A = this chain, B = another copy of it.
């Protein structure tokens, strides 16, 4: 696996019972996954020679993040190394311009969007969104760098031509999107193997704070069966049309009028699937491993009525140890997942999962534990 973050850490954990020998390409020996994996190569994933040396002896290469240059992936494939997901699929999770073009082509509903080349272009894009016969300039508009963004980075909500100038300063391509009037965000997680077997997890509700995933509720409360089915089918269709191998997370907007629009794609285990570790028969990590190795997939169904995941972000309190003890003592059913990272403000350092029959109780327990670990709740 390329990338030593928490996704690699948890993928290794899930691979142990499957008897999988896991090799890691990590930026540093201290990275989250490097702390727990036996075979670690420290090196730069942007360097093709490093990638080639790492790939030697691997049966398959997969990823903790989307940042490996597409051309390097093609070079590895040309060397005969199975790369899963392959570069032709992964590019849709790397480049939002390519993703929007492809989803449009296969008829998947997306927010209105266009590649823009400067603030005037953004003003024109905004104006086109003003319904006929109404006033206004069409702002706010969402601007995104087409490559390299994550967790709210590389995303701007701009309200004027002046604000629209900011994203262009880096000189990278920018995608403009309408700001969708959504009632909530959903995520449809599916896993697909090379020979085309696919499974769909229940559609979840994903709550963001400052552009970063905070809480995930599985399944999405009150979601009509037809809408859930539509979202699952959409994700399965995207996985198939794009040739995804492994885990695919489709982040969705649920609009006020009951439609779903695709927001983002991720082709790796995803924060919106962390609940599956304790809430599903087979976790997203185990199914990602099974898919990339072309093993039969495991049952994605839930084990509990409700499962809630809340991220633990770092705050101003670097030592979580006493909070960690408190949370375990307060709730012996709490499932804690720590990433072995130093605490820094805003950094994802872990998450907690809770499950049960009473959603209010399950939510309270997860939120209390995450808040206590973060230091924002002290009693």
The complex places the Cα of A328 from the Cα of B18 at a distance, in Å, of: 10
Which of chain B's residues has its CB closest to A29's CB?
B38
Given A13-B16, A16-B13, A328-B298, decide whether A21 and B340 contact each other with a Cβ distance below 8 A: yes
A297 within 8 A of B: yes
Given A38-B36, A296-B325, A325-B296, decide whether A17 and B336 contact each other with a Cβ distance below 8 A: yes
A241 within 8 A of B: no
0/1 string, A259-288, CB within 8 A of B gives 1:
000000000000000000100011000000
Which of chain B's residues has its CB closest to A15's CB?
B36
Chain A residue total in the interface (Cβ 8 A): 40
Which of chain B's residues has its CB closest to A282's CB?
B332
Interchain Cβ contacts under 8 Å between A and B, 11 examples: A13-B17, A17-B335, A18-B338, A19-B324, A19-B336, A19-B339, A21-B35, A37-B38, A296-B325, A298-B332, A299-B332
B18 touches A36 (CB 8 A): no
Residues from chain B with a CB closer than 8 A to the CB of A17 are 10, 13, 277, 335-338
B36 touches A298 (CB 8 A): no
The complex places the Cα of A16 from the Cα of B297 at a distance, in Å, of: 23
A182 within 8 A of B: no
Contact of A36 among B16, B282, B339 (CB under 8 A): B16
A36 touches B22 (CB 8 A): yes
The complex places the Cα of A298 from the Cα of B333 at a distance, in Å, of: 6
Interface residues of A in 309-358 (CB under 8 A from B): 324-325, 328-329, 332-340, 350
The complex places the Cα of A22 from the Cα of B13 at a distance, in Å, of: 13
The complex places the Cα of A35 from the Cα of B39 at a distance, in Å, of: 8
Contact of A35 among B34, B38, B332 (CB under 8 A): B38
Residues from chain B with a CB closer than 8 A to the CB of A165 are none
Which of chain B's residues has its CB closest to A301's CB?
B333
A358 to chain B, nearest CB (A): 16
A96 within 8 A of B: no
The complex places the Cα of A35 from the Cα of B23 at a distance, in Å, of: 10
A106 within 8 A of B: no
A303 within 8 A of B: yes
A152 to chain B, nearest CB (A): 25
A290 within 8 A of B: yes
A27 to chain B, nearest CB (A): 15
The complex places the Cα of A254 from the Cα of B60 at a distance, in Å, of: 50
Interface residues of A in 44-62 (CB under 8 A from B): none
A9 touches B16 (CB 8 A): yes
A166 within 8 A of B: no
Which of chain B's residues has its CB closest to A16's CB?
B13
A40 within 8 A of B: yes
A202 to chain B, nearest CB (A): 15
0/1 string, A215-241, CB within 8 A of B gives 1:
000000000000000000000000000
B13 touches A297 (CB 8 A): no
Residues from chain B with a CB closer than 8 A to the CB of A35 are 21, 38
